[in-house]
Amino acid sequence: MTEASTAKIYGLHVAVVAVLVALNFVLPEYHHAVLARVLVLAVFAMGYNLLFGYAGLLSLGHAMFFAAGLYGAGLPLYHLGWGVPAAFASGLAAGLVVSAVIGLLALRTTGVAFMIVTMMFAQVFYLVTLYFGEWTRGDEGLVLQQQARQVALGATTLDLTNPDTRYLLAAALFATALFATLAIVRSRHGRVLVAIRENEERTRMLGYDTFANKLAAVVASGVICAAAGAAYALLFGYVGSTFASVQYSILPLLWVLLGGAATTLGPLVGTLFMYYVVDITSGYTSAYMLVVGAVLILLVLFFRKGVLGTVRERWARWLP
């Protein structure tokens, strides 16, 4: 890894964040709101990418980590009147606990069994949110009131329902998660994860505790996804069971594959792209699911590496 490419890498990432921030002042209202949402969901995708792209573990249950953050933040705010920072921390804590427990159990399996086990645990989580409908209102969900979503900062108050505040906070979260992911994948731990993905047995026989490494990856992934979930609840004011359903386990997979698995910026590209594809086709026809399905199949047939993955392979080998 040369000095020049390190500079290029950081330069690129800083530039992306700078552009995103600048867009706050330029975008028309509709796209402004869409992008704020996309940025939070892109964080969800980045968390997924850490485990799927880099560690090579395909989970079909990541909705439960997102939902852990969502409910972990939303429920205390709604029922206990907690402030925004405390609720966010609570969402992160929920993500940490859930991912640690699930990791300890699910990592006893590999491959297809791992996919199915994670899917099942996520299904249990979803059903639990329905079962305790008294507190969660199940599919109908809870609307978090505007008054609750304010943060006092010295003299001023941050109103999370204000579009600018919301966008900039989403961008801040995105930037944090982006640089955290970048740091992880370029670190020694990141290289070990890639090695585990490529050849787990060999990595074990080089003296690495592959279970501990994989568990760390699951927890890191889970916490990042929970952060996205908590932010989603607090910024957009809605908490509902749909976010725990299997659909939200499949979406991050789709976004990551589309943007390019095992690339740091791929998740953003994928989430953005998919959002707009669905948005635009919904304008023409209500059959947008057909488009999603077709896109997936085309991707997998012709662009297995996704947008940035293909870019990296053809032109920019230094892309992390």
Q: Which chain residues interact with other proteins by CB under 8 A?
A: 58, 60, 105-106, 108-109, 111-113, 115-117, 119-121, 123-124, 127-128, 130-131, 188, 191-192, 194-195, 198-199, 201-210, 246, 250, 253-254, 257, 286-290, 292-297, 299-301, 304
CB of 40 to other proteins, least distance (A): 23
CB-wise, 30 or 302, nearer to other proteins? 302
Choice between 60 and 173, CB closer to other proteins: 60
What would the 3-class secondary structure string for 155-212 be?
CEEEECCCHHHHHHHHHHHHHHHHHHHHHHHHCHHHHHHHHHHHCHHHHHCCCCCHHH
Cβ proximity to other proteins: between 47 and 53 the closer is 53
Taking the least distance from each CB to other proteins, the nearer of 19 and 205 is 205
CB 241 within 8 Å of CB 132: no
Nearest-angstrom CA–CA distance, 226 and 242: 15
- For other proteins, the closer CB: 86 or 299: 299
- Least Å distance between CB 64 and other proteins? 12
Minimum distance between the CB of residue 103 and other proteins, rounded to whole angstroms?
Answer: 11
| Residue spans of beta strands (DSSP E) within the chain | 142-143, 150-153, 156-159, 238-239
Alpha-carbon distance of 227 to 218, in angstroms, equals: 14
Rounded least distance, CB 304 to other proteins, Å: 7
CB of 91 to other proteins, least distance (A): 23
Bridge partner residues of 219 (DSSP): none
Q: What is the DSSP string of 10-23?
A: HHHHHHHHHHHHHH
End-to-end C-alpha distance for the chain, whole angstroms: 11
